[in-house]
Amino acid sequence: MRVHLKHITTFFCCCSLLLSKAQNNPHLLPQHDFIEYDSNYIHFYSDSANYASFFNKLDTLVFKGKGKVNIMQIGGSHIQADIWSDQMRKNFQQLSPDLNGGRGFLFPYTLAHTNNPHYYKVSYTGKWDGYRNSVMKHDITWGVSGITASTGDSLSSFKILFRGNNTPSYDFNRIKVFHDLDSTSFSIRFLGDSCVTTKTNKEIGYTEFFLNDYVDSLEFEIVQTDSNQTHFNLYGISLDNDDPGIIYNSIGVNGASTKSYLRCELFTQHLKAINPDLVIFCIGINDAYDSDFCEFCYEENYDTLVSWFRSVNPDVQFLFVTNNDSYYKRRYPNKRVFKARDVMINLSKKYNSGMWDMFNIMGGLGSIRTWQKYGLAKKDRVHLTKNGYIIMGDLMFSALMKEYEKHLQIQNVK
């Protein structure tokens, strides 16, 4: 594929602005001496390792306006809040601002009585219970989201509304609701005038609602239509449209470790509906917080997760992200970060993938104290603040765009 020079020039202008946010432009993002900007790149450990297939799909979208590119970032509480991942989402949207492929997979966390991303509001009626894969005493079926909201009320409802001036227009005309489709499950109905038809996919496990208009909010009611029906388990929602574009899916559960996601028996089944081209793995901060952390078990858990993704898409590519610097019980630098980092390097080598070294970019061991001093990390010395996660999103996007620039330069020579 030969990309025309004028298209590359246009792309680089857009790309340079985004990169400058994380590196060169103090008016867009303050420079911090403690951030190791020179370490902000994707590490590849073999000459053949790259993101060619992912970038080729991105080429087709950005330069020809065709196709959809699916990205998935998965982790624990860093991702559930969807600040870091939403900053990535917004940055990718700027690559093709007229190509909005939909919001993709999300979960209405408020239904499960846990923190919800700010930019979409969830309201509901009826009694709902929440179950997380990270809570060992919870025992229920989980899907790809790692979280389940369940109700036994024979008449209940929920509504999702996007809000905020900085929220991209996530309008959609198709909605997939992931739930049980057996005879014991309550039925689900779309509330509104736009719904034309519905279709169930029993292989994957969702009901899809096709609308005759693009909308930016949704409301459903859960109703008992048969005496055999006893409950309704919600595993997640995907907001889709028929337009080309980038879809950035974020999967996060507070407290989740690699072992937590291995409890999700419907993971690969639901994953077929997302079918990601690039997976950004950010699972590990909770693994390494355990004083009995076993790096071999950690790597084996990742081996299983990788096999799950490859069973759905053999060509999927991965970015392994090291843990951020953190403290154990707020007092002791968590040196298990080094063992977790070694595992990420091993995984990158094993699966011919990239590694992004968040730990070193932050400044290494003890650096989160400095991030806290500048209002970029919280007092628990594990989590970042909103501004800290936004910086992390800009840095990661910058590192990916450096690789994409290299790809475009090679393509233009061919």
Interatomic CA distance for residues 293 and 287, integer angstroms: 6
The confidence score (pLDDT) of residue 6 equals 42
Residue 299: which pLDDT band, with cuts at 50, 70 and 90? very high
Tell me the per-residue pLDDT of 249-281, one tens digit each, with 9 for 90 and over: 999 999 999 999 999 999 999 999 999 999 999
Burial state string for 214-252 with b = 16 or more CB within 10 A and e = fewer than 16: ebbebbbbbbbeeeebebbbbbbbbbbbebbbbbbbbbb
Percent of the chain exceeding pLDDT 70 equals: 91
Tens-digit pLDDT profile for residues 16-48: 544 444 444 333 445 788 999 999 999 999 887
Q: DSSP state, 96?
A: S
pTM to 2 decimals?
0.93
- Among left, alpha and beta (phi > 0; psi -120 to 50; other), residue 356 is beta
Q: What is the pLDDT of residue 228?
A: 95
Beta-ladder partners of 384: 377
pLDDT at 35: 95
User: Rounded mean pLDDT of the chain?
Assistant: 90
pLDDT value at position 414?
58
Domains belonging to the chain, first-starting first, are 1-101+244-414 (3.40.50.1110), 102-242 (2.60.120.1360)
pLDDT at 336: 94
pLDDT of residue 193: 83
User: Model confidence at 167, in pLDDT bands (50, 70, 90)?
Assistant: low
In the prediction, which pLDDT does 38 show? Answer: 92
* Mean of pLDDT values over 227-231: 95
Confidence of residue 93 (pLDDT cuts 50, 70, 90): confident
**Per-residue model confidence (pLDDT) at position 89:** 93
What is the per-residue pLDDT across 340-396, written as a single tens digit (0 to 9) for each? 999 999 999 999 999 999 999 999 999 999 999 999 999 999 999 999 999 999 999
pLDDT band of residue 76 (cuts 50, 70, 90) is: very high
Report whether pLDDT(4) > 50: no
> Once rounded to an integer, what is the mean pLDDT over residues 40-63?
91
β-strand partners of 74: 251, 281
The closest alpha carbon to 71, from 395, 402, 319, 411, belongs to 319
Question: Tokens 């030969």 identify what position?
Answer: 2
* Stretch 189-206: mean pLDDT: 92
The predicted pLDDT at position 177 comes to: 98
